[in-house]
A and B are shown apart, each in its own frame.
Chain A
Amino acid sequence: MARIEVVMPQMGESIAEGTIVKWLKQPGDAVKQDETLLEISTDKVDSEIPSPASGILVEIVVKEQATVPVQTVIAYLETDAAKAVPVMEGPGATSPTGAGVQSSGAGAGSAQASGTPATVAQSPGAGAGRAQAPGASAASVQSPEARDAGSARPAGTDATTAGQGTATTGVAGKGRFYSPLVLSIARTEGVQMDELERILGTGDGGRVTKKDILGYVQARKSGTLAPPPRPVQPASAPQPPGPQAKTVPVRSQGDQVIPMTNVQQKMAQHMVNSIHTSPHVAAIHEVDMTVVAKHRAAHAAVFERSEGFKLTYTPYIIDAVVRAIKKYPLINSSVEGTTIVRKSAINIGMAVASENGLIVPVIKHAEEKSLLGIARAVHDLAERTRGRKLTPDDIQGGTFTLSNYGVFGTVFGTPIISQPQIAILGTGAIVKRPVVVNDAIAIRSIAYFTLSFDHRVVDGMLGGMFMDAIVKNLEGFDAESEIK
């Protein structure tokens, strides 16, 4: 007797929206409580979302690849088998037992009358307000009555509005704004949303102007319009962000069309956004890593036996960075409008390449950690990144980022800042080189480190002094120290 809304769950405090990667069930499919219903992607973490209740998936409101705000209704479950179409054999309507599932019946009376009281943890009736599944691991559900009874919901995000669901979702997925006039013309001229999304926009930020859509309508009427490329993905699939989204694709036979994954799209957006936001300046310093290299070599074997993983250069570098930030704390800032926010915690993001794309998990409160503590945190995050076990909070809150492209043999690079941070350290490969030491040529382990910094906040002097502090921390590393 219960039709249950499945909503986009809130996967972490600062997550505002999520993308549906894949529906594992289709309308008509039976689903058990806690069985995986769909996969979603928020920012950089993909999550499997368990069904909030047992029943039958009767309607998918938000299609794959669409991005919607959290709490948007994305599907409906019917826990009463008799009401679900098609009718499923067996008792599809086992009583949902999870907290946070609320009956959509008019109240306790009708729910009980059906013999399948849908409300267990919540008090019956519409007055109970919003029901939510505990924790971030289950999709939250709420009954229509609960919503109607006045539970707060972000305005304009209700994708269930009849006839507008697809359109709303498409716009949200594309992030492209259409003016009231353009939408009016589209309706009058019968221009579908997927057509609209293909029109080249000449307005601000690629916006489709009145002229653009009238030109399109004219071309369509006169037959001069090239047939639209058959989309490989559903029409609502977001185009890749950035300026290339506006160019008309030219394809040769045999070309492969590869839709970007959500993580790839997010990365692309972040990169373009960062370059447009921060004037990047790079300061490149040479670092003599000989002392660190010797220290690492001397401790590697014992360390691996006691800790169970290999000792890398990364903890040494992070330790040196954290000490340099303590000396020059302005580096550990972000820009908010016309203010600079100097962060008290030093949270070091470290770029990790994974088959899922580039991911930057964050070592929280690195300033409170010893070299050993940092090494453990680095290992833990790297492992969980590759095992796709990160939580959304693992990738948030970074205040400074380290990118070790040296592992790929890169000698030096110019990394892009991870917004809203203002600096990123790139570390090149450590290579033995002949260098001058005390007026004699010596063979030392040399690396080139690059600090890309945001010149709105950091000038060349601060950038250089900060880098110099990192270099001194590494070159002056106490070779006799123990790892603890």
Chain B
Amino acid sequence: MATMTYIEALARGMWEEMERDPSVFLIGEDIGAYGGAFKATKGFLEHFGEERVIDSTLSEAAIVGASVGAALLGMRPVAEMQFADFVTCGFNQLVVNAAKTHYRWHLPVPMVVRLPTGGYIHGGPYHSESPEAWFFHVPGLKIVAPSTPHDAKGLMKAAIRDNNPVIFLEFKYLDRRMKGDVPEEDYTVPIGKGVVRREGSDLAVLTYGSTVHFALDAAERLSKQEGIEASIVDLRSLAPLDKELIRDVVRQTGKALVVHEDHLTGGVGAEIAAWITEDSFQALDAPVRRIGAADVPIPFAPPLEEVVLPTTAGIFKAMHDLARY
């Protein structure tokens, strides 16, 4: 067991898979000599060589398109978008080619697209986007969203081994803030399985990524100050969703709050809330509530960013109100 940061752990996952399987390779902008914008691939070029650590052109369409082609020929590419925001330039390759190829020709497309995602880093409107809702809507793509170093490594390895295109959300806010124990041995975290991070009987919070930690902080405060006990579910995978787990915690508590950093309107939380009301209407003791970013671009200025993005205080208040409903 070693203590690692979030980004070290996901890098470790890539490293182990490249050691284990020669068909795995990396492609992205400045990932080689420079080691990547967030240094996730530092040292990879020196160890694995330039055939397996490819510095690409400045074209997300080319990176994703080349990955699709390589995957069709039996490789397992791991593509890095420098910031999740930039994936829009590779949207067609992902949504049309990567997602539909297996449906149309029965050919697997085993590839991972890494998306350094989210705000809380004062990155402004072009470097803070949460892209999951764009892909959540697309059949044929898997989406994982680890919130801990342990899951970052385990989900990375699972994503690389999966025969489907997998969107891997890396929460930039967690990169170096989040440290934790990571087993040194080979393990994976199953895609499509969430985990209960905290047990409580008064309400359930369903969340993923950075906001898992805000929700856990809010839950501790709520327990100390009000004696309200919340279950915190870390979804870990968005596609497929762990509906069994969601059903279980919702039916245990009767109250659900969905929290994500992505914009509220049309977000993953909307789908989860709708599904809960369809699936468990008679088990609901309160309307399903949602928290997400305001429907505006993410601002640069830290005080504005704090207003736009979900905060521990905002989650605390929503949990409190829902418990009191």
**Interface residue B281 (Cβ < 8 Å from any Cβ of A):** yes
For the complex of A and B, 3 pairs with smallest distance between CB atoms: A181-B285, A184-B282, A210-B285
Q: Do B285 and A179 have beta carbons less than 8 Å apart?
A: yes
Rounded to whole angstroms, the CA-CA distance of A210 and B253 in the bound complex is: 9
**What CA separation (Å) do A379 and B37 show in the bound complex?**
86
Evaluate contact between B324 and A204: CB separation under 8 angstroms: yes
Please tell me if A411 contacts chain B, counting CB pairs below 8 Å.
no
- A209 contacts across to B, CB distance below 8 A: 285, 325
CB distance from B162 to the nearest CB of A (A): 37
Is B324's CB under 8 angstroms from A180's CB?
no
6 new A-B contacts at CB < 8 Å, known A179-B285, A181-B284, A203-B324: A179-B254, A179-B284, A180-B283, A184-B282, A204-B324, A210-B254
CB distance from B158 to the nearest CB of A (A): 36
In the complex, chain B residues 272-308 whose Cβ is within 8 Å of any chain A Cβ: 281-286
Bound Cα distance A204, B287 (Å)? 13
* Majority SS at the chain A contact face: helix
Count chain A CB atoms within 10 A of each CB in B254, B283, B284, B324 and give the residue with the most. B254
Cβ of A235 within 8 Å of any chain B Cβ, yes or no, is no
A182 at the interface (CB under 8 A from B): yes
Q: Using an 8 Å CB-CB cutoff, how does the interface string of A161-180 with B read, 1 for contact, 0 for none?
A: 00000000000000000011
Contact (Cβ within 8 A) A184 B324? no
* A25 part of interface (Cβ distance < 8 Å): no
CB-CB under 8 A from A323, the residues of chain B are: none
Q: Which residues of B contact A181 (CB under 8 A)?
A: 254, 282-285
The verdict on A371 contacting chain B, using a C-beta distance below 8 Å, is no
The complex places the Cα of A259 from the Cα of B282 at a distance, in Å, of 34
Among A180, A182, A203, A207, the residue within 8 A (CB) of B281 is A180
Please determine whether B282 and A180 come into contact, CB atoms closer than 8 angstroms.
yes
In-complex Cβ contact of A204 among B281, B284, B325 (8 A): B325
In the complex, A210 Cα to B286 Cα: how many Å? Answer: 9
How many whole Å from A187's CB to the nearest CB in chain B? Answer: 9
A191-216 interface mask toward B, CB cutoff 8 Å, 1 = contact, 0 = none? 00000000000011001011000000
21 contacts between A and B (CB under 8 A): A179-B284, A179-B286, A180-B281, A180-B283, A180-B284, A180-B285, A181-B254, A181-B282, A181-B283, A181-B284, A181-B285, A182-B285, A183-B282, A184-B282, A184-B283, A203-B324, A204-B325, A207-B325, A209-B325, A210-B254, A210-B285
What's the Cα separation between A209 and B254 when bound, in Å? 10
Size class of the contact patch on chain A: 10 to 19
| Chain A residues near B324 (CB-CB < 8 A) | 203-204
With a CB–CB cut-off of 8 A, which chain B residues contact A180?
A: 281-285
Q: Which residues of B contact A204 (CB under 8 A)?
A: 324-325
* Interface of chain B residues 235 through 279 with chain A (CB within 8 A): 254
CA distance A184 to B284 in the complex (A): 9
Once bound together, how far apart are the Cα atoms of A183 and B325, in whole Å? 16
- How big is the B interface, by class? under 10
Contacts of B281 in A (CB 8 A): 180
Question: Which single residue of chain B is at the shortest CB-CB distance from A209?
Answer: B285
Chain B residues with CB under 8 A of A179: 254, 284-286
B325, chain A: closest CB distance, angstroms:
5
Q: Which of B281, B282, B284, B324 has the most CB of A within 10 A?
A: B282
Q: Which residue of B lies closest to A205 (CB)?
A: B325
Q: Which residues of B contact A182 (CB under 8 A)?
A: 285
Task: Pick the most buried of A182, A203, A209: most chain B CB atoms within 10 A of its CB.
Answer: A209
CB distance from B201 to the nearest CB of A (A): 9
Tell me the complex Cα distance, A207–B287, Å. 13
CA distance A179 to B283 in the complex (A): 9
Q: Give the residues in chain B near A203, CB-CB below 8 Å.
A: 324-325
Tell me the minimal C-beta distance from A279 to chain B in angstroms.
24
The distance from the CB of A191 to the nearest CB of chain B, in whole angstroms, is 15
Min CB gap A443→B, angstroms: 60
Bound together, the chains give a CA A181 to CA B285 distance in angstroms of 5
Residue of B nearest to A184 (CB): B282
The smallest C-beta distance from A183 to any residue of chain B, in angstroms, reads 7
Interface string of B169-181 (1 = CB under 8 A from A): 0000000000000
Q: In the complex, which residues of chain A have a beta carbon less than 8 angstroms from the beta carbon of B282?
A: 180-181, 183-184
Once the chains are docked, how many angstroms separate the CA of A207 from the CA of B254? 14
Which residues from chain B contact A210 at a C-beta distance below 8 Å? 254, 285
Chain A residue nearest to B251 (CB atoms) is A181
CB contacts (< 8 Å) of B285 on chain A: these are 179-182, 209-210
Q: Which of A210-227 contact B (CB under 8 A)?
A: 210
Q: Which residues of B contact A184 (CB under 8 A)?
A: 282-283
Contacting residues, chain B, for A183 (C-beta < 8 A): 282
CB distance from A184 to the nearest CB of B (A): 4
Interchain CA distance A184-B283 in the complex, whole Å: 7
In whole Å, how far is B204's beta carbon from the nearest beta carbon of chain A? 13
Cα(A179)–Cα(B282), bound, Å: 8
How far is B285's CA from A210's CA once the two chains are assembled, in angstroms?
Answer: 6
Contact with A along B110-144 (1 / 0, CB 8 A): 00000000000000000000000000000000000
**Residue interface mask B307-325, A partner, CB < 8 A = 1:** 0000000000000000011
Q: Which of B281, B284, B285, B325 has the most CB of A within 10 A?
A: B285
- State in angstroms the CA–CA spacing of A179 and B288 once bound together: 12
Contacts of B325 in A (CB 8 A): 203-204, 207, 209
- In angstroms, Cα B282 to Cα A263, docked, is 36
Q: Which residues of A contact B284 (CB under 8 A)?
A: 179-181
Interface residues of A in 368-390 (CB under 8 A from B): none
Complexed CA–CA distance, A184 and B254 (Å) = 11
The complex places the Cα of A289 from the Cα of B212 at a distance, in Å, of 71
- A184→B281 CA distance, assembly (Å): 10
Q: What's the Cα separation between A181 and B282 when bound, in Å?
A: 5
Using CB atoms, name the residue of chain A closest to B253: A210
CA distance A181 to B325 in the complex (A): 13
Nearest to B283 among chain A residues (CB) is: A181
Name which residue of chain A comes closest to B287, CB basis. Answer: A179
Q: How far is the CA of A210 from the CA of B324 in the complex (A)?
A: 11
State the Cβ distance, B231 to closest chain A Cβ, in Å: 14
Residues of A within 8 A of B283 (CB): 180-181, 184
Docked Cα-Cα span, A427 to B177, in Å, equals: 69
* Docked pose: A482 CA to B285 CA in angstroms: 68
Report the Cα distance A179→B253, complex, angstroms: 13
Per the bound structure, the CA–CA distance linking A181 and B280 in Å amounts to 9
Taken together as a complex, chains A and B put the C-alpha atoms of A453 and B285 apart, in Å, by 39
Shortest Cβ gap from B142 to chain A (Å): 33
The residue of chain B having its C-beta at the shortest distance from the C-beta of A183 within the complex is B282
Q: How far is the CA of A180 from the CA of B287 in the complex (A)?
A: 10
Q: How far is the CA of A207 from the CA of B285 in the complex (A)?
A: 10
Interface centre among A184, A207, A210, by most chain B C-beta atoms within 10 angstroms, is A210
Shortest CB-to-CB span from A149 to chain B, Å, is 31
**Beta-carbon nearest neighbor of A182 in chain B:** B285
- CA distance in complex: A207, B325 (Å): 8
* Minimal Cβ-Cβ distance residue in A for B277: A180
CA gap between A204 and B320 in the complex, in Å = 12
Q: Mark B145-159, 1 if CB is under 8 A from A, else 0.
A: 000000000000000
Query: Whole-angstrom distance from the CB of A60 to the nearest CB of chain B?
Result: 30
